[in-house]
Amino acid sequence: MSTTKYIFVTGGVSSSLGKGIIAASLAKLLQARGYRVTIQKLDPYINIDPGTLNPYEHGECYVTDDGAETDLDLGHYERFLNVPTSQANNVTTGRIYQSVIEKERRGEFLGKTVQVVPHITNEIKERIQILGKSGDYDIVITEIGGTVGDIESLPYIESVRQLKWELGNQNCLVIHLTLIPYLSAAGELKTKPTQHSVKTLMESGIQADILVCRTEHHLSEELRHKLALFCNVGKDAVIESIDASTIYDVPNLMLEEGLDKVTLQKLGLKDTGSPPLTAWNEFVKRHKNPRAHVTIGLIGKYVELQDSYKSILESFIHAGAANEVKVKVQSIHSEFLDASNVASQMQELDAVLVAPGFGERGIEGKVEAVRYARENKLPFLGICLGMQMAVIEYSRNVLGLKDANSTEMNENTAFPVIDLMEEQKTITDKGGTMRLGAWACELKDDSIVKDVYGVSNIEERHRHRFEYNNAYRTQLEAAGLKTTGINPQTNLVEIVEIEDHPWFVGVQYHPEYKSTVANPHSLFVSLVAAALNYSNNR
């Protein structure tokens, strides 16, 4: 008999209501009460993972320690809970079908017709319970992607219905997140779309236990009563989720509304008293009461879509709070940056971050941004492609290797200072084949990173195919581009720094994936401090 409790978060009326933030906020409150909680996301698309999706399509691809390429909501889970997630925390329809089809080929269903019910739904139920059965968690929160009523979500909803039946209502809870639209012409909040979406859920045999209602205006008692009556839930199970100025306010808003209380009650779990959110509240206070501000340029080619650089933007919020500084991130489109406008675009900046990315578009603008940061001693952090651009810029403009490049951009470059690893050269499949997940890195003494991390051995998460080409290392080092972090197993260069610069660091890995509220990433904290310093000395 399982003792793990399962909470499902479904969405109705509209997409983008913030199921991930609600799930993470509830998890935070339960964790603060002493429960061991994890969150899982089920995505109804056919891709095996979001690794092959364009950021415009899906936002950032988040990477876990075990090298899973996942939905960006897992980033919120880690940032809120400060507990690492893994491949088991993100399952797509593609992965479910792949696994069922592989089983069919192995003959595991010999003699049977393989069908959505029961084979696909059994696989889904198994994936949901893997985390629960690990014994590591008291509560598993599963967020179902998409909106109730979507064709592609149906097998997930049916699986939830079956689990509720199998494990019992005291072990399974469904939270339905909906939108209460405000009609300005009528001056009224409207409950009808919510009533309909709760009904749609009922057509699949699921009665929502708790309603979380996204709204721009407070819900009156009368409206709460109406929602409770017509959606068939208790009045204490109608939770208002008013628009917040920051996602980091949502746990406290949910606490005020009693979402954690009603959840514990319904699952028959002990109410251990009001959760101490001391450290969390300290962070929120610092975030909202900065003593100074800095402007940091984010040079990327997906800047039109904020979600593309989610973890970077959140890392700046954590690092800003740590420094009691407001970080204004100024997005600069690398595609439109060149030698003629780089100074005017960057002169107001106190630091610059050159973003990760793939492909040729916008890379010359990134190289120009690096050059500006190097020449003007502007604090610089290059992440992944950003680090590669720093190596290219140094090779071209300091070493004089004309047209040095990455073989990703120009296969025939005379100076392939960034190149494919040997192991990558024979790989043709695109999905899941990059250097992924946590890799060790040894830091050199007398470096910025050694100071910043305060230790000699670190582990950081990767997602890239191309690497610093060690054939150019002696030349580059002699010219002043130090390699200050090395992977001890492969001798791959993970970090470069410019000797003669106050704060210039390029990292082949992605520090932004590991920054959390409880543990702001030290590289970002240090970059913000360097930006403040730069701004004060202007």
Catalytic positions, written as ranges: 384, 510, 512
Q: Is residue 362 close enough to count as binding ligand GLN by CB under 6 A? A: no
| Complex with ligand GLN: residue 108 or 360, whichever CB lies closer | 360
Concatenated DSSP letters for 373-401? HHHTT--EEEETHHHHHHHHHHHHHTS--
| Complex with ligand GLN: residue 84 or 357, whichever CB lies closer | 357
CB of 334 to ligand GLN, least distance (A): 12
CA separation (Å) from 103 to 108, 119, 120, 293? 5, 10, 11, 56
CB of 417 to ligand GLN, least distance (A): 13
CB of 470 to ligand GLN, least distance (A): 15
CB of 450 to ligand GLN, least distance (A): 24
| Complex with ligand GLN: residue 76 or 464, whichever CB lies closer | 464
Question: Could you give the CA distance from residue 134 to residue 137 in angstroms, rounded to a whole number?
Answer: 7
100: enclosing H helix or E strand: helix 93-106
Look-up of token digits 């950032």: 60
CB of 300 to ligand GLN, least distance (A): 10
What one-letter code names the amino acid at 68?
A: A
Q: Is residue 357 close enough to count as binding ligand GLN by CB under 6 A? A: yes
Binding-site string for ligand GLN from residue 368 to residue 397, where x marks contact by CB under 6 A and - marks none: ----------------xx------------
CB of 406 to ligand GLN, least distance (A): 7
Is the alpha carbon torsion for 459, 460, 465, 469 positive or negative? Answer: negative
CB of 387 to ligand GLN, least distance (A): 8
Q: Is residue 358 close enough to count as binding ligand GLN by CB under 6 A? A: yes
Concatenated DSSP letters for 333-367? EGGG--TTTHHHHHTT-SEEEEPP--SSTTHHHHH
Percent helix, strand, coil in the chain, to 5, is: 40, 20, 35
Judge contact between 153 and 45, C-beta under 8 A. no
Binding to ligand GLN in span 441-480, by CB under 6 A? 463-466
How many of the chain's residues bind ligand GLN (CB under 6 A)?
10
Binding-site string for ligand GLN from residue 405 to residue 444, where x marks contact by CB under 6 A and - marks none: ---x------------------------------------
Name 497's bridge partners: 482, 505
Of 263, 194, 270, 266, the residue nearest 232 (C-alpha): 194
| Complex with ligand GLN: residue 155 or 506, whichever CB lies closer | 506
| Complex with ligand GLN: residue 337 or 384, whichever CB lies closer | 384
Question: Could you give the CA distance from residue 385 to residue 401 in angstroms, rounded to a whole number?
Answer: 19
Which residue in 44, 67, 155, 356 binds ligand GLN (CB under 6 A)? 356
Residue 136, token pair as written in the block: 């590591």
Question: Could you give the CA distance from residue 29 to residue 463 in angstroms, rounded to a whole number?
Answer: 32
The residues, ordered by sequence, that sit 6+ positions from 382 with a Cβ below 8 Å of its Cβ are 353, 354, 370, 388, 389, 390, 505, 506, 507
CB-count burial class (<10 Å; 0-12, 13-18, 19+) for 418: buried
| Complex with ligand GLN: residue 319 or 385, whichever CB lies closer | 385
Phi, psi of 135 (to 5 degrees): 80, 0
Q: Is residue 190 close enough to count as binding ligand GLN by CB under 6 A? A: no
| Complex with ligand GLN: residue 384 or 492, whichever CB lies closer | 384
Residues that bind ligand GLN (CB under 6 A): 356-358, 384-385, 408, 463-466
